[in-house]
Amino acid sequence: MDSTQSLEQLESEMLAAVAAAAGLDSLESLRIAALGRKGSLTERMKALGGLPADQRRAAGQALNRLKTTVEQAIDARRSSLAAADLEARLVQEAIDVTLPARPQPAGRLHPVSQTVDECVAIFGEMGFTVAEGPDIENDFRNFTALNIPPEHPARQMHDTFYLPERDDGSRLLLRTHTSPVQIRTMQSQEPPIRVIAPGRTYRCDSDATHTPMFHQVEALVVDETTHLGHLKGCIIDFCRAFFELPDLPVRFRPSHFPFTEPSMEVDIGCTRSRGELKIGGDDWLEIMGSGMVHPNVLRAGGVDPDRYQGFAFGMGIDRIAMLKYGIPDLRTFFEADLRWLHHYGFLPLAVPSLVRGL
């Protein structure tokens, strides 16, 4: 900036430069260039001393005015640049606090797993624990100990998968129901017994409502005083809790199973209209088999039938899952189709419980 420039020119140039400063750094450089120790205005101040005395005062006042104007312009520009800077940072660093803190897991629990968890929650609340047995069983526990002797017609009805014959001529099999877990439990623990046994079962059968592998849940209660009234109360409570219908009608119909005496099939109320099935209503749908444990079964499990008695029941897990969740075809359960699983599956973090909901 040359020293002969008029103060008006200098002022308009400086104010234009201040207005054009794009950032706080360039504004600071401008300030130093004008007002710093070697700045152009500072140099002019210093030069005042060389002026004739009669001009010094007016020139000094004019320079001071200019200095104040430039300082104010720089301060104003600094504030507006800082405000714009803050605004930009707020936009850039914005956090949407309305987003869920935990993203939903992509995986889903299979309806069979969900249904098992629900059964465990309901029976757990009643004081049952979970018992287990292997998928491969021997003939004794799957049939004979359950009061189904070798020539019994029930054996044909089970469409059993047999493993190859062993050296001693016996053949292991894939269990056709979860009832052999009754025998295992009685053999390994003393009454009082109160267990459920969910698990895989196998029968050589395949159509829209039968698959070669399916699931059952078995229940066994053995002690000195349990009677038919307990069986009925337990099953009615379970059905109403599971289907989440407190008034669901439940009916016990005389039937026959080799391992119970007396035996009953259990029906729940339903409504059938235009090919659709709804739970609840005054039509009937069979959902399980039950009865008082046969003395021969207690004996085979090493339990004294003159001292102990109890009840048992068993039902298809896949079947009650289809009924509760409106899944039309059993075969789709085992096709491992991720689209199906996403539609019918359950969020793994929503653990079923009677208190918080199934």
Residue number with CB closer to ligand DAH (63 or 312): 312
Residue number with CB closer to ligand DAH (135 or 244): 135
* Distance, CA of 294 to CA of 109 (rounded, Å): 37
Residue number with CB closer to ligand DAH (219 or 270): 219
The identity of residue 302, as a single letter, is: G
The structure tokens listed for 299 are 């004996």
Chain centre to alpha carbon of residue 214 = 24
Within 10 angstroms of residue 110's Cβ, the number of other Cβ atoms is 17
The identity of residue 223, as a single letter, is: D
Element (H, E) at 279: strand 276-279
- The minimum distance between CB 324 and ligand DAH, in angstroms, equals 19
- The minimum distance between CB 125 and ligand DAH, in angstroms, equals 20
- The minimum distance between CB 346 and ligand DAH, in angstroms, equals 26
Residue number with CB closer to ligand DAH (108 or 158): 158
* Distance, CA of 249 to CA of 270 (rounded, Å): 8
The structure tokens listed for 271 are 């409504």
- The minimum distance between CB 316 and ligand DAH, in angstroms, equals 8
Within 10 angstroms of residue 254's Cβ, the number of other Cβ atoms is 9
Residue 296 per-residue DSSP state:
H
Residue number with CB closer to ligand DAH (257 or 344): 257
* Distance, CA of 299 to CA of 306 (rounded, Å): 10
Residue number with CB closer to ligand DAH (202 or 243): 202
* Distance, CA of 91 to CA of 83 (rounded, Å): 12
- The minimum distance between CB 349 and ligand DAH, in angstroms, equals 33
C-beta separation of 14 from 39 below 8 A = no
* Distance, CA of 309 to CA of 221 (rounded, Å): 8
Residue 346 per-residue DSSP state:
B
- The minimum distance between CB 163 and ligand DAH, in angstroms, equals 20
Dihedral sign, Cα of residue 138, residue 140, residue 145, residue 146: positive
- The minimum distance between CB 289 and ligand DAH, in angstroms, equals 3
User: What's 167-206 look like in SS3?
Assistant: CCCCCCEECCCCCHHHHHHHHHCCCCEEEEEEEEEECCCC
* Distance, CA of 7 to CA of 5 (rounded, Å): 6
Residue number with CB closer to ligand DAH (73 or 234): 234
- The minimum distance between CB 214 and ligand DAH, in angstroms, equals 10
- Binding residues (CB under 6 A) for ligand DAH: these are 177, 179, 218, 257, 259-260, 289-291, 312-314
Residue number with CB closer to ligand DAH (269 or 289): 289
Rg from Cα positions in the chain: 43
- The minimum distance between CB 151 and ligand DAH, in angstroms, equals 19
Residue number with CB closer to ligand DAH (66 or 287): 287
